[in-house]
Amino acid sequence: MKHSIFTYLIFISCSILFITACGGDPPPLETTNNAQTPPTAKFNVDDLYTTNTEVSFDDNSDSGSASITSWQWNFEGGNPSSSNAQNPTVNFSTKGEYTVSLTVTTPDGTNTLDKEILVIEDCPLYSCEKFLVEKSSDLTYGTNANSHRMNIYKPLGDNRSSKPAILINGGGNYNGSNLDLLDDLASQLASYGYVVATAKYRNGIQNPTGSLLRGMVDSKAAIRYLRSQATNYGINPNQIFAGGWSSGAYNALVHTYWQESDLPTGMLTYIISQGWISSWEGSQGHQGYSSNVAGVINLAGAFYGTEEAFENDLYITSSDKPMFSIIGELDSETPCGKVELSSSNWEFGPCIIQKRLQDVGLVAEMIVLQGGTHESPRIKQNIDSYLPSLVEFINDNL
């Protein structure tokens, strides 16, 4: 068989070109992987710490394709406030919510991670303002969306599922409550480890007794609401106190101490016929829950009543609840004793109520703020002075 020179040229060409032009596969090319992976900052941290405790932060960052060459930590509220150690130790002297930041660097890049921590006071429960406070504002607790408004304060960092709760009804003389006036008291109480609610209620009507009874059933609705929210806020449903300032304290007092069975025959029928309330318990919401309370916190509040009520010892019996009262020495709106308002209508202040409670063997404590006025129980400097006594009263009556 004869081969042409063209055949030999093809053979030679295929050999030189690695057979590419002749339908064969080329040999694999050698490659080098030079991909660069930046680091990923990571560190271990708890959510909760106490003040004046040495806290160690452990770096467990991923270095990527190269070794980490630097660590830069920043500690908001900490001492030191920054560090370039891999695993630093820090002290937080003041309670607060703080950001901890770590930036790691390698020849291939940098990466930063921020985490939030909570620092609370290092003191026994109920002995100081231990916790930070979270406020939920303008909640609806009853059937009247305009009037039944509530703020709830809860202690941050208190992970108990069964905390005592306190209702503080606002003042305003049945003409609208400014709950901002109770913000200091509510916040400070919550910082001790209580869930605290401040509440508005419906405005008054022309008849003072009708206004008081409407306030009473609104206070009951607020307590029922707190029980309905026990799981959400970590409330112990058996440890809820009613309270208030000024007219709100009047509501809490009649809520706590007046029972339907105390009424003269036919009185409830008359009250209902006037349209003041629909029943002694009211119908303002959460009817499936109890409105009973563990005690009452009375800030410049009193009873309205008749001389007959006074002669019947204000209808207070040994089965009633304890009371803690605070009143200004010079309060011109709420008497400490007994004052006649009109023929056969009287006002019975905390001095009278306290004596009756003590006479039947119940706890009744009272602080008179020297030189104080009607506003004094809600003023911060006075709150600071009586708060430890109030906290002790609450804890003794849980």
Rg (CA), the chain: 35
Residues β-bridged to residue 324: 297, 365
Joined tokens for residue 169: 């009804």
Tell me how far apart the alpha carbons of residues 329 and 335 are, in angstroms, rounded to a whole number.
Answer: 9
**Which pLDDT tens digit goes with each residue over 339-361?**
988 777 899 999 999 999 999 99
- Prediction pTM value: 0.87
For residue 270, pLDDT beyond 50: yes
Average pLDDT over residues 365-393: 98
pLDDT-wise least confident of 6-15, 160-169, 172-181, 386-395: 6-15
Tell me how far apart the alpha carbons of residues 120 and 127 are, in angstroms, rounded to a whole number.
Answer: 13
The pairing of beta strand 132-140 with beta strand 149-156: antiparallel
pLDDT at 29: 52
The pairing of beta strand 323-328 with beta strand 364-369: parallel
For residue 11, pLDDT beyond 50: no
pLDDT at 5: 41
Nearest-10 Cα torsion for 250, 252, 257, 262: 70
Sign of the C-alpha dihedral computed for residues 5, 11, 17 and 23 taken in this order: positive
Average pLDDT over residues 249-260: 96
For residue 196, pLDDT beyond 80: yes
Q: CA dist 327 to 123, 125, 379, Å?
A: 30, 27, 12
Can you spell out the DSSP letters for 49-68? EETT-EEE-EE--B-TTS--
| 266 conformational bin, left if phi > 0, alpha if psi -120 to 50, beta if neither | left
What is the separation of C-alpha 152 from the centre of its chain, rounded to a whole number of angstroms? 6
pLDDT at 26: 56
Average pLDDT of the chain, as a whole number: 92
Is residue 308 within 8 Å of 280, Cβ to Cβ? no
Average pLDDT over residues 251-278: 94
43-120 is a CATH 2.40.33.10 domain: no
pLDDT at 50: 97
pLDDT at 344: 76
Residue in the structure block whose two tokens are 């009262």: 325
Residue in the structure block whose two tokens are 């304060």: 153
**Which pLDDT tens digit goes with each residue over 12-59?**
344 444 434 445 555 555 545 568 999 999 999 999 999 999 999 999
Element (H, E) at 228: helix 208-228
For residue 152, pLDDT beyond 80: yes
**Which pLDDT tens digit goes with each residue over 312-342?**
788 899 999 999 999 999 999 999 999 988 7
Is residue 107 within 8 Å of 66, Cβ to Cβ? yes
- The residues of the chain that CATH labels 2.60.40.10 are 43-120
pLDDT at 28: 56
Tell me how far apart the alpha carbons of residues 344 and 360 are, in angstroms, rounded to a whole number.
Answer: 25
Identify the CATH number of the domain defined by range 132-396.
3.40.50.1820
Tell me how far apart the alpha carbons of residues 110 and 93 are, in angstroms, rounded to a whole number.
Answer: 31
pLDDT-wise least confident of 23-27, 66-70, 209-213, 253-257: 23-27
pLDDT at 35: 80
**Which pLDDT tens digit goes with each residue over 129-151?**
999 999 999 999 999 999 999 99
**Which pLDDT tens digit goes with each residue over 75-133?**
999 999 999 999 999 999 999 999 999 999 999 999 999 999 999 999 999 999 999 99
By CB atoms closer than 10 A (0-12, 13-18, 19+), residue 290 is middle
For residue 310, pLDDT beyond 90: no
